[in-house]
């Protein structure tokens, strides 16, 4: 495979706190990798090291064919990075922000490039609006336009849809898949399970360690857990009882139903049979079931 990112042994310390621990990441050209993990897990730190904004304490490998530790400047020129917080100028218009970014990259044909970005992301009719007056969804589009105006080969997105309504989130992901279809490689951190399932594959980081890697289906199959879905009036009231049972790994409410997971089918079946006033059905574990389980099994070192 033609790897755009191929790094290993990635480590970063802040004082005596080890925030990224021996992480290895490979991503092929035109692939979308979802990067998941709770707050403080090391997602943003990893993204910033990969694009040269932070210097790793150790690690080896290449990003875009360049040594990611000694040739970071070359990587930055070919990478788009969209920060978690909107970082463009509120008191400038959409078009002015894009012209500014184009000048920063010293791009030729700036007017044509800006117009192309405005058109591609549906911003052309709003180009004279101040960035600070835009809603979250439109700010997101502007930030994506700014991150891709120089036609990068790699796009790093740090929780890009946080605080954005579902319609804008869906439109954003449609655009990301369109860009990937043209050969752009994308690594995106997210908290949303439905967004993770839109990615070609997933990496899950916890306490600085990458503890799961693969497609959503591969991660579910590798987890080797059994899950039952329970329904019935008042079923959410038994979640705490179930969680206290040694045969139960996780028990969580999903709307009016609950998911109960365990390692051993017979032991778990014996537990839920005690609650026979409810309806039970064995189901495939969801990605969320698996990640809740992984979090419960790992302790900070």
Residue ranges of the domains in the chain? 3-215, 226-284
What is the spatial distance between Cα 180 and Cα 154, in angstroms, rounded to a whole number? 10
The CATH architecture that domain 226-284 belongs to is: 2-Layer Sandwich (3.30)
What is the spatial distance between Cα 234 and Cα 12, in angstroms, rounded to a whole number? 47
Cα 240 to chain centroid distance, Å, stands at 30
* Six-digit token string for 232: 């019935």
Residue 296: predicted pLDDT: 75
The CATH architecture that domain 3-215 belongs to is: 3-Layer(aba) Sandwich (3.40)
Residue 97: predicted pLDDT: 93
* Six-digit token string for 58: 């150790």
Residue 32: predicted pLDDT: 97
CA gyration radius, the chain: 22
Q: What does each of the 301 residues of the chain score in pLDDT, given as a tens digit?
A: 689 999 999 999 999 999 999 999 999 999 999 999 888 899 999 999 999 899 999 999 999 999 999 999 999 999 999 988 888 999 999 999 999 999 999 999 999 999 999 998 889 999 999 999 998 889 999 999 999 999 999 999 999 887 778 888 888 899 999 999 999 999 999 888 888 889 999 999 999 999 999 999 999 999 889 999 999 999 999 999 999 999 999 898 888 999 999 999 999 999 999 999 999 999 999 898 898 888 877 654 4
DSSP label at 84? S
Tell the residue number behind the tokens 């049972």, with chain if given.
245
Nearest to 185 by CA among 58, 27, 19, 45: 27
């Amino acid at each position: 495979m033609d790897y755009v990112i191929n790094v290993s042994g990635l480590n970063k310390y802040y004082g005596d706190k080890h925030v990224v621990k021996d992480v290895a990441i490979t991503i092929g050209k035109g692939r979308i990798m979802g990067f998941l993990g709770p707050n403080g897990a090391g997602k943003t730190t990893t993204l910033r090291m990969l694009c040269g904004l932070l210097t790793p304490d150790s690690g080896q490998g290449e990003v875009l064919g360049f040594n990611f530790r000694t040739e970071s400047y070359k990587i930055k020129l070919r990478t788009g990075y969209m920060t978690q917080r909107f970082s463009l100028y509120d008191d400038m218009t959409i078009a002015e922000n894009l012209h500014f970014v184009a000048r920063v990259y010293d791009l030729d044909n700036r007017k044509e490039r800006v117009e192309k970005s405005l058109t591609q992301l549906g911003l052309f009719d709003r180009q004279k609006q101040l960035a600070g007056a835009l809603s979250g969804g439109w700010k997101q589009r502007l930030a994506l336009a700014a991150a891709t105006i120089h036609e990068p080969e790699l796009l790093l997105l740090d929780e890009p849809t946080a605080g954005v309504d579902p319609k804008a989130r869906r439109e954003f992901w449609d655009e990301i898949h369109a860009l990937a279809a043209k050969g752009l490689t994308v690594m995106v951190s997210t908290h949303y399970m439905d967004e993770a399932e839109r990615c070609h594959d997933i990496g899950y980081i916890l306490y600085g360690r990458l503890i799961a890697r693969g497609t959503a289906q591969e991660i579910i199959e590798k987890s080797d857990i059994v899950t039952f879905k329970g329904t019935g009036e008042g079923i959410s009231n038994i979640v705490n009882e179930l969680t206290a049972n040694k045969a139960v790994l996780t028990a969580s409410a999903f709307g009016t139903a609950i998911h109960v997971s365990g390692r051993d089918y017979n032991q778990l079946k014996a537990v839920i049979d005690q609650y026979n006033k409810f309806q039970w059905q064995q189901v495939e574990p969801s990605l969320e079931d698996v990640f809740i389980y992984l979090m419960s099994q790992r302790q900070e070192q």
